[in-house]
Structure formats: structure tokens, C-alpha cells
Amino acid sequence: MTCLRVKEEFESQITPRHVNGGCPYDVSKEKGVEKRGRVPKCSKKKIFFHDQENTYEIVEIKPHINNAGIALFHLLHEATAEDMMEMYKTNAIGPMLVTKAFFPLLKKAAQESPNEVKSCSRAAVINISSGAGSIERIPLEFSVQPLFEYRCSKAALNMLTRCQAEAYKTDGIIAVAVAPGWVQTDMGGPKAHLKLHESVGGMMNMFDTLTEKHNGVFLNWRGQTLPW
């Protein structure tokens, strides 16, 4: 979902149609999620998520941005099945389930503008991926930053994006994978190349340019195409 930290820090720079809110979603408890009340309740163009303590409201969802992500730093021989599953749950399965929950409202948004060109402002799924998910770039980067669990999960997210692009295109929804760059966040650390406002500002400008021709593509924060 949209990163609340980004929303708070850059609210003055980002228009409401882009950043609408955020919600918790525990993918490890999907089977029991309906009993626990953590499923979205939809009314027109509003979504409410409930947990035991709070109510979270999502008001416009065009585009819908999946921005959750975690990283582990292990050597290949140190990793466990549990490590891999944790990465996939957050970085690939989570975006799949959250988008699935929001799909009815995305479809509704697209149907409300049938004559408008398919674009980010009409209805779109934007999965925040990573250049580390590029299989083609592995020989150039692996020795510097192995991150193999993270790379595998982001490659899976990229494939999910391609599948969503094919599955949703008849409904007027585009799906795009975007790499924000190496950013100075809690995950990226202080040595990262980009400051938060540089990455976010670049992506927000780029989002405004996305149209049907970008459906199913992998872009960096500047809007340049990345190799799968």
C-alpha cells in the first residue's frame, strides 16, 4: 500500500488522487482474515479496513500503489525456507492479495471513464519493485549486493505485474512495476544514492505520464525501461 511515511512527508507535493491512505494487511493470516474483520468493506469509492484498534479509510484508488517491502541480508548458504517464505509473503503475495481486494473499485473507476485513454489517472496498479529484481542485471550486481532472497521475491513481483497487466487490461486497468532506486530509507540506509524526495518526486512525475502503452512494463523512478 501507499507508504504513510511518504504521504506525511510529501503531502504538499503529492496530489490526493495519487496518495490516498494506507492500511495494515497480514498476509500470514489470510485464511482467517474474514473472521478477524481485516477485509475491506466497500461503499461506492471508499474502502474501510478494520483491525482490533483502528479504522483505516481509503478514498480514491486510482492508481493503487503496492509499496510494502522487506529485505534480508544473508549469504546463499545461510538462508532458510522460513526466510524465503517471509520475503515472498510480504514482497509478492501481499501485493497480490491487496490488489485482489481492491480490484472491484479499480474496475469501477475504469468503468466510470469509458472514453478516457487507459492511464494512471483512470485506473492502474503500480507495484513498487526494485532493480534488484532484474534477472538480466544479476551478473553485474550480485557480487556487490547478493540480496538473493530479496532479488527472488522482487522477480516474483515483476512476474505478478506482467500477469496483472494481461488479466486486467480488458477491464481498462494498467499494471506497471516501478523501481524507486536505492533510497535513503530505513531499508536503504544512509549510504543510498537517492534522498527520499528525489525518488518520490521522480516517481510521482512519471506516474502522470503512464498510459496504455506502459501496461506490463518495468520502469525506474525516472520512467526509463529496465530489463526483466
Query: Which residues are marked as active site?
Result: 150, 154
Beta bridge partners of 48: 41, 57
Whole-angstrom distance, CA of residue 177 vs CA of residue 188: 19
Query: What confidence tens digit (pLDDT) does each residue in 57-76 have?
Result: 555 567 899 997 899 888 88
Using DSSP, state whether 85 is helix, strand or coil: helix
CB environment 97-124: b (16+ within 10 A), e (fewer): bbbebbbebbebbbeeeeeeebbbbbbb
Q: Which domain holds residue 185?
A: 4-19+60-220
pLDDT given at position 107: 92
- Assess contact for 227 and 209: CB atoms under 8 A: no
Does any domain span residue 138?
A: yes
**Domain for residue 151, yes or no?**
yes
CATH, residue 118: 3.40.50.720
Q: For 33-93, where are the alpha helices, taking DSSP H only?
A: 33-36, 81-88
pLDDT at 60: 56
Query: Radius of gyration (Cα) for the chain, nearest Å?
Result: 17
Distance from C-alpha of 220 to C-alpha of 178, rounded to nearest angstrom? 5
Q: Is residue 167 part of a domain?
A: yes
Q: Residue 122 domain-assigned?
A: yes
Using alpha carbons, select from 129, 227, 120 the residue that is nearest to residue 174. 120
- Is 50 inside a domain boundary? no
Q: Phi and psi of 207, rounded to 5°?
A: -55, -35
**In the chain, how many domains are there?**
1
The region of weakest confidence among 42-46, 102-106, 164-168, 169-173 is 42-46
Whether pLDDT at 42 is above 50: no
Range among 35-44, 92-101, 183-192 rated most confident:
92-101
Cα–Cα distance, 15 to 175 (Å, whole number): 20
Give 131-165 pLDDT, tens digit per residue. 999 999 999 888 888 889 999 999 999 999 999 99
Around Cβ 224, how many Cβ atoms within 10 Å? 10
What does the alpha-carbon distance between residue 117 and residue 38 come to, in Å, rounded to a whole number?
34
In a domain, 41, yes or no: no
**C-alpha–C-alpha distance, residues 98 and 39, integer Å:** 10
In a domain, 42, yes or no: no
Residue 82 lies in a domain: yes
The region of weakest confidence among 13-17, 169-173, 223-227 is 13-17
